[in-house]
């Protein structure tokens, strides 16, 4: 009896070990064009946009999220992509749901574990911030919580504080141009980032000294 219990225990542990080591299959599916407008997404849509390209993020054959835009490879196993949110825009007096699409936060996806993590980029504003990725850095123009100041921001995926947060200009949503900034421009050696405000005569550049990746990938399994 004891031997049979021992054999069963070894078989169970072996099965668990095999399941834990089973690779996950992570992929972005085909693109779908969905109706999209400022009315449905006041913060994120451009005035002339009529459709948003969305595609599913699939883990082990199951749709985990919907995404929009290009993905960015951070490492050989991790990538970032922006989430697309399907939101119920129905009023309390409406008798049925009214679904609209909105651009959401950025996601970090681990191909090996299938883990999906929402990134909380400091001072990120969906109507102003155009993120340009380099390595594990995200560069963009950000807005403070009061929406009164425009900042040059460089955030790192796994860092608690931004690597760079410098005031660029006061912000007035009624008077300011759209977009507020051109996409940031990266330089590798020496590591430098440049921001160009709309209407400004020259770009503003910042050196990023002594910076390296802070992203630590683990071997924990499971999807987000």
Tens of pLDDT, residue by residue over 107-139, are: 999 999 999 999 999 999 998 999 999 999 999
Phi, psi of 9 (to 5 degrees): -65, -45
Compute the distance between CA of residue 140 and CA of residue 159 in angstroms, rounded to an integer. 16
Tell me what percent of the chain is helix, strand and coil, each rounded to the nearest 5: 10, 40, 50
Asked whether residue 163 carries a pLDDT value surpassing 80, the answer given is: yes
Contacts of residue 33, Cβ cutoff 8 Å, sequence gap at least 6: 51, 52, 53
Q: What percent of the chain has pLDDT over 70?
A: 82
Coil, strand or helix at 6: helix
What would the mean pLDDT of 90-96 be, rounded to a whole number?
Answer: 95
Residue 7 reports pLDDT greater than 60: no
Burial (Cβ within 10 Å: 0-12, 13-18, ≥19) of residue 107: buried
Question: Structural domain boundaries of the chain?
Answer: 24-119, 120-211
Looking at residue 74, the DSSP 8-state letter turns out to be S
């Amino acid at each position: 009896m004891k031997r049979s219990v021992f054999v069963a225990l070894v078989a169970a542990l072996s099965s668990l070990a095999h399941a834990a080591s089973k690779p996950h299959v992570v992929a972005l599916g085909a693109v779908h064009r969905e109706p999209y407008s400022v009315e449905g997404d006041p913060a994120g849509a451009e005035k002339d946009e009529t459709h948003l390209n969305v595609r599913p993020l699939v883990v082990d054959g199951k749709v985990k999220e919907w995404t929009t835009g290009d993905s960015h490879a951070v490492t050989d196993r991790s990538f970032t992509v922006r989430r697309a949110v399907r939101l119920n825009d129905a009023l309390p007096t409406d008798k049925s749901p009214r679904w609209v699409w909105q651009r959401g936060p950025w996601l970090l996806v681990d191909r090996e574990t299938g883990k999906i993590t929402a990134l909380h980029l400091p001072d990120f504003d969906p109507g102003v911030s155009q993120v340009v990725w380099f390595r594990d850095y995200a560069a963009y123009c950000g807005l403070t919580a009061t929406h009164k100041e425009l900042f040059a921001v460089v955030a790192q995926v796994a860092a608690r504080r931004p690597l760079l947060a410098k005031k660029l200009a006061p912000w007035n949503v009624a008077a300011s141009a759209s977009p507020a900034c051109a996409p940031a421009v990266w330089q590798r050696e020496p590591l430098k980032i440049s921001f160009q405000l709309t209407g400004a005569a020259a770009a503003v550049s910042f050196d990023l000294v002594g910076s390296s990746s802070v992203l630590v990938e683990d071997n924990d399994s499971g999807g987000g």
